[in-house]
Amino acid sequence: MRLTYTSDLWYKNAVIYCLDVETYKDGNGDGVGDFRGLTQQIDYLHSLGITCLWLMPFFPTPNKDDGYDITDFYSIDPRLGTLGDFVEFMRTAKDRGIRVIADLVVNHTSDQHPWFKESRSSKDSPLRDWYVWSDKPEPDDPSQIVFPDKENSIWQLDKKTGQYYLHSFYRHQPDLNVANPEVRDEIARVLGFWMELGLSGFRVDAVPFLIENVGDKLPDPHAFLADLRAFMSRREGGAVLLGEVNMPYKDLVSYFGDGNGDQLTMCFDFIGMQRAWLAFARSEAGPISQTLGDRPKPPKDCQWATFLRNHDELTLDKLTDEERQEVFDAFGPDKDMQIYGRGLRRRLPAMFGGDLRRIKMAYSLLFSMPGTPVIFYGEEIGMGDNLDEEGRMAVRTPMQWSQSGGFSDAPPVRGIPGGSFAPERVNVADQKRDPDSLLRWFQLLIERYRECPELAWGDNTVLETGHPSVFAHRCDADGATVVAVHNLSDIAAEIDLALEGLDGCVLTDLLADETMEVADGTVRLPMSPHGCRWLRAAPRGDMPPEDASIIAH
């Protein structure tokens, strides 16, 4: 594929790295991460191969919800630095060719935001309609309560005015009324402000809540997303909206903009993530194969964002009760590991018991799946979780740079994992010097992924392997083919793959020094326990002479 073509739609084969400035690197020694500290680590991220950073909220906040309760959309939390520090960070990231997107949290604000303070001051306030008020709240539906451990309703009485305000999340996070055109205009100004400072887009928090809250107040609730996308495209053609839409595929596709692709540029594949964990629990490929068959193709120029873990709980809400229990039993049997009755508050390496073969296989699978991979900071070194921290904070612990921690010279803002995942055992400095480390594996995966645009751009086909634990798929684009094979079990297997149209081609394993030939349209592949292969197909005549002489049959 032509690089000039794929680079125009940079996000379709980007490598997105999510981090929290607060827990990444402390630059002034106060125990809290900041933009100065993050800026000093740009070269680390560049050497890893990251092409896009996703920043969790960095705005002023009372910090009751780890920054997702915002009091000013136009500034920087003073603990994290200044606008000047942010601009220097952006300049440095741009210098290394790294794009930056940020969380767009506009479903709600903090109850300390000046907008809400003015809105609740009286029923006649000019900002009253900026939030959702009701004389009598709707009957509570338990399924609508996102945090059942903290809330028992999505409506809160404001004693001063005698009305109730809507809060889809915590009661200290009142929902904005995006049906109000003044609110929509203000949201667009927020996007425009940060784009002027260099952002390439936004990860949109809680998108379905934005649309549901509009309800029948607008002729077409989805027009709000289309308007935001059009606004961004006018300012910067390559800007993206990456949506958090945890819905069944049949309901999710409308968030892309149906066939037009004029709303969200990308959507997270929550269904694929949850089915992957079911596959890991069973050591069976079936759930992944089925999901790829069910997943609709996004509109032209749109893309799926794939992931295995993120900054929230590992939600399993789209699995059946029985399937969810299978994953709980395999990866979080203790109640303290579970959260909200629907998910796990653990990181992947801890769930896999530190088994490096299994961890490497899982991330190889992630990077080979059709879509754009998104990883959470610390995944590249196998960071664990700290279950002593409350709720979802268990996975949002300080980055482990060295055996002493390396995050800060002061006591860190959050507790660091101990035991086999403590910094003296899991850190960047040691893994840089170890050619067999997880960090080096991530560097290899990212390098190979960027060399294989077929994985993100191509037509995907699930292949029959004849073995329940082995998953295989091929991606074809512009006459080029990459085949990926993964063994989800701890037992070796040997499979025969039928590769239509590749008879006589040579397959080069991009993750190892090995080649093999397709004979009679078939290739036999031995798969080690938790083994993985990425195979690029090429006619024998297209191979370098040194490779052609070592073909393994």
Amino acid at 450: R
Distance CA 304, CA 484 (A): 18
pLDDT on residue 543: 59
User: Average pLDDT for residues 399-408, to the nearest whole number?
Assistant: 98
pTM: 0.96
For 258, half-sphere exposure in the C-beta direction (CA atoms, 13 angstrom radius) is 2
Would strands 201-204 and 240-243 be described as parallel, antiparallel, or unpaired? parallel
Q: Helix crossing, 223-235 with 207-214: angle to 10°?
A: 120
Reported confidence tier of residue 338, pLDDT bands at 50, 70, 90? very high
pLDDT band at 322 (very low <50, low <70, confident <90, very high): very high
Contact 371, 269 (CB under 8 A): yes
Contact 501, 485 (CB under 8 A): no
Name the helix (H) or strand (E) containing 190: helix 181-196
Residue 548 has pLDDT above 70, yes or no: no
How many CB atoms are located within 10 Å of the residue 456 CB? 26
Query: What's the CA dihedral at 49, 53, 241, 201 to 10 degrees?
Result: -110
pLDDT at 541 over 80: no
CA dist., res. 44 & res. 443, Å (int)? 11
Is the pLDDT confidence value at 550 over 50? Answer: no
In angstroms, the CA 107 to CA 441 distance is 38
**Greatest C-alpha distance within the chain:** 83
Residue 328 phi/psi, 5-degree rounding, is -55, -50
Torsion of CA 168, 172, 178, 183, to 10 degrees: -170
Residues serving a catalytic function are: 205, 244
**551 Cβ neighbours under 8 A, 6+ residues apart:** 506, 515, 516, 517, 540
How confident is residue 374, by pLDDT bands cut at 50, 70 and 90? very high
pLDDT tens profile 56-107: 999 999 999 999 999 999 999 999 999 999 999 999 999 999 999 999 999 9
Residue with the larger pLDDT of the pair 121 and 7: 121
Helices 438-451/356-368 angle, 10° precision: 20
Per the CB < 8 A criterion, the answer to whether 253 and 296 are in contact is yes
pLDDT per residue as tens digits for the range 510-527: 999 899 999 999 999 999
Residues 6+ apart with CB under 8 A from 552: 514, 515, 516
Higher pLDDT, 1 or 367: 367
What the block records as the tokens of 486 is: 């993964």
Roughly what angle, to the nearest 10 degrees, separates helices 207-214 and 249-256?
A: 80
Phi, psi for residue 50 in degrees, rounded to 5: -65, 135
pLDDT of residue 553 exceeding 60, the answer is no
With bands split at pLDDT 50, 70 and 90, how would you rate the model's confidence at 544?
low
The DSSP-derived string for 228-285 is: HHHHHHHH-TT-EEEE---S-HHHHHHHHTTTT--S-SEEE-HHHHHHHHHHHHHT-S
Asked if 330 and 337 touch (Cβ cutoff 8 Å), the reply is no
pLDDT of residue 542: 66
Strand 163-166 and strand 514-517: the pairing is unpaired
Q: Give the containing element (helix H, strand E) for 201.
A: strand 201-204
Q: What are the CA-CA distances from residue 487 to residues 83, 132, 367 (Å)? A: 48, 50, 15
Q: What is the pLDDT confidence band of residue 218, given thresholds at 50, 70 and 90?
A: confident
Q: Report the alpha-carbon distance of residue 206 to residue 105 in Å, rounded.
A: 8
Pair 29, 76: CB distance under 8 Å: no
